[in-house]
Amino acid sequence: MEPINFPESNTKLVADECGDLPAHKHADGYVTCWQLSGNEMFKVLQTGVVWLHVLSQQHPPIMMVAEGPFEKEIDDDDEEGTEDGGG
């Protein structure tokens, strides 16, 4: 997996022996975005798992999600649709 830049990134995290990590800093922490290679996508489809390695002696609280946190959420009322008389 490779970290990738994204429109909402507003900082870069840097550390020795690591590449720059584009991130969005907010009140509760940071959001980063990662791109899987074709082989990684295939492996995830096969196993259904992703492994997280934390390069530290302490493990910070984390949250891993598949949906982008900046994507607009669709309201349930919008999904029902009323243009065709349904709903």
Q: What is the pLDDT of residue 83?
A: 47
CA distance 18 to 47: 28
Tell how strand 21-26 and strand 33-35 pair up.
Answer: unpaired
* Coil, strand or helix at 40: helix
Assign 81 a pLDDT band (cuts: 50, 70, 90).
Answer: very low
- What's the pTM? 0.73
CA distance 11 to 24: 6
pLDDT over 80 (residue 73) = no
Q: What are phi and psi of 2, to 5 degrees?
A: -125, 135
7-26 pLDDT, tens digit per residue, is 999 999 998 888 899 999 99
Task: Check: CB of residue 86 under 8 Å from CB of residue 77.
Answer: no
Alpha helices per DSSP H over the chain: 38-47, 76-80
